[in-house]
Amino acid sequence: MNILVLNCGSSSLKYKILKMPEGTELIKGEAERVGIKTKEKSVISHFVRGKEKRVELSLKDHPAALNAGFELMAEDIGVERELMFEAVAHRYVHPGTFFESTVKITRNVQSKLKKTFPFAPIHNPVSYGLIEVCRKKYPGIAQCAVFDTSFHRDILPGFSRYAMPWRVSKKFAIKKVGFHGISHRYVAEEACGYIGRSFSQQKIISCHLGTGGSSVCAVRNGRSINNSMGFTPLEGLMMNTRCGDIDPGAIFYIMFKEKFSSEQAETILNKKSGVLGVFNTSSDLRDVIRSMSSDKKARMTYDMYVRRVRTYVCFYALILKKADILIFTDSLGQGSSVLRESVCQNMDFMGIKIDRDLNDNYRTGITDVTGTASQTRVLVIPTDEEMMIAREAYKELVKR
């Protein structure tokens, strides 16, 4: 079975056609800078059997990115019919209280997914929109939703509970849910395989640092026990347009002074804050890094971002009683040696030390950048959420 995997970030869309169960990659692509303000144009990097085609174009939203991807895929499928996909699997961020594991999308399931928009207002409406695009374009093809929260079902009660009235928490199912679970699980398993250790016996801190969303996860003995994101993806790190951790009192104050509705406040915190809110010129931390040597605002933005990541790495090292493995992944975690060095700077007291030369010379693949005398292995690992999504979808689709 060939499965087309669609993986939406807040400003990106990754797609991949995988032959399952072998996991053979047939086609892959990524649309970057989708529907956001940046200094550069949107671009799609499209690969078929390893050959790249790079297209610059205007992508106002994710449906436009998907349709552009479909056009590129259609060219390849027209030449090789064996590349055609037979099912579509979607990364779906937040299932609300409706689902805990992968589900085949029926009309009934889709109606429930439509009710989940408030839980992840940046991602869920986008993913739902792509489900609609696929249903209209390929009405006979099965679709599955694979949830970003499933890996975090074991977050400890002491970390998942918020300090609010039990009656309110129970009525609205308010607790820390955690996100990027597909990525955190994938890189944690890959890390253990790479260094020859059992996933069920390791203490791991995983830093998924993307140009859209970012989170840090604490994994103990194969289970996620804490994640920097919370009831929604808004909690935690400073991200491209999300504020991350903030005093709720500041939100109430602004709403009172500006007479903002809850919808207006949500738009500010989810779509106009974070890197974009502080730097203003761009929401992409890569633009910040390029400018910070001469721009004080860029320097401040970068320092704020790094400080948040370091805070969570230290907290999780504390609750794990020192980590066996520290992982950096995704577009920033894998793509920026400067960021990795900044996060690990002066972390010797936590048993974490990075090798500057190994880190600076990283290019691709899984690489160990651990410094001398470091008690924690520091690894750079490309995430492959699409592979994990395809595995989960395949298991669901072939169930009898």
Asked if 308 and 238 touch (Cβ cutoff 8 Å), the reply is yes
User: Helix 181-195 crosses helix 385-397 at what angle (to 10 degrees)?
Assistant: 110
Both tokens assigned to 116? 């989940």
Report CA Rg, the chain: 21
Return the half-sphere exposure (C-beta side, CA atoms, 13 A cut-off) of residue 284: 20
Q: Which of 76, 148, 324, 384 is catalytic?
A: 148
Task: Check if 148 is active-site.
Answer: yes
Fill in the amino acid letter for 2.
Answer: N
Instruction: For 177, list phi and psi in degrees, rounded to 5.
Output: -105, -40
393 SS3 class: helix
Both tokens assigned to 83? 């590349």
Residue 292's closest CA among 336, 327, 334, 331?
336
Residue 69's closest CA among 34, 21, 118?
34
String of DSSP letters for 41-69: -EEEEEEETTEEEEEEE---SHHHHHHHH
Catalytically active residues, by annotation: 148
